[in-house]
Amino acid sequence: TPLSPTTYDYTGAVLWNAHAGALWARFTTYLRRELAAHLGMTQKALNAALRVSFAKVAEYQRRGLVHFHAVIRLDGPEGSNEPPPRWATADALTHAVKTAHGRVVLTAASDAIGERELRWGDQLDIREIAALGDGELTDQKVAAYVAKYATKSAEDSGTVDRSLRCPHCTGRGYQRGPDG
């Protein structure tokens, strides 16, 4: 529910939710580019030395907009069963996340609305998952973190108890006139 229904940007909200996946895809591209640049290497060299792994959950806020909880980790070139190189640090990843976050922009255009630029909001919370628990960061701990937000999102979103399709117009928007 919007805080102020009379001033809420409903069109912007629909565009944001519709394009959130594309924003995420651009973020992952920029993240890899920025990480390679920050570490002073080409993307090809970065990809040969490590793998950037992602797990994300799209969660609906109370106002109906999607936001993401993501786990981004650096693994060895063969994946999670191999540690990343020593130079692939949490600080380097944090820098790349912040920079990529600021670069992502997507232009949505249509005859009805013209052009709108979509980008991430100002809120960005980066925490090292190793700090969330004791001991080694395992795949199980990462899975538990992601599952926490996935189930929270499912519980909070609710479901409808009836069809959203109009039985009279079968979803086409027609209205019955006096002649039926």
What is the model's pLDDT at position 180?
Answer: 56
What is the model's pLDDT at position 31?
Answer: 97
What is the model's pLDDT at position 129?
Answer: 73
Please give the torsion angle defined by the CA atoms of residues 15, 19, 23 and 28, in that order, rounded to the nearest 10 degrees. Answer: 170
What is the model's pLDDT at position 5?
Answer: 84
SS (HEC) of the chain? CCCCCCCCCHHHHHHHHHHHHHHHHHHHHHHHHHHHHHCCCCHHHHHHHCEEEEEEEEEECCCCCEEEEEEEEEEECCECCCCCCCCCCHHHHHHHHHHHHHHCCEEEEECCCEEEEECCCCCCCCCCHHHHCCCCCCHHHHHHHHHHHHHHHHHHHCCCCCCCCCCCCCCCCCCCCCCC
Domain ranges of the chain: 10-157
What is the model's pLDDT at position 139?
Answer: 62
Cβ-contact 113, 11 below 8 angstroms: yes
What is the model's pLDDT at position 113?
Answer: 82
What is the model's pLDDT at position 150?
Answer: 63
What is the model's pLDDT at position 111?
Answer: 81
What is the model's pLDDT at position 164?
Answer: 46
Query: pTM score, two decimals?
Result: 0.73
CA distance linking residue 61 with residue 59, whole number of Å: 6
What is the model's pLDDT at position 137?
Answer: 60
Q: How far is CA 112 from CA 16, 108, 109, 119, 171, in A?
A: 16, 11, 8, 20, 20
What is the model's pLDDT at position 152?
Answer: 60
pLDDT in tens, the chain (180 residues): 677 889 988 888 889 999 999 999 999 999 999 999 999 999 999 999 999 998 888 888 877 889 898 889 899 999 888 889 999 999 999 999 999 999 999 999 878 788 999 999 999 988 887 655 555 666 676 677 667 766 664 444 444 444 444 555 555 555 555 565
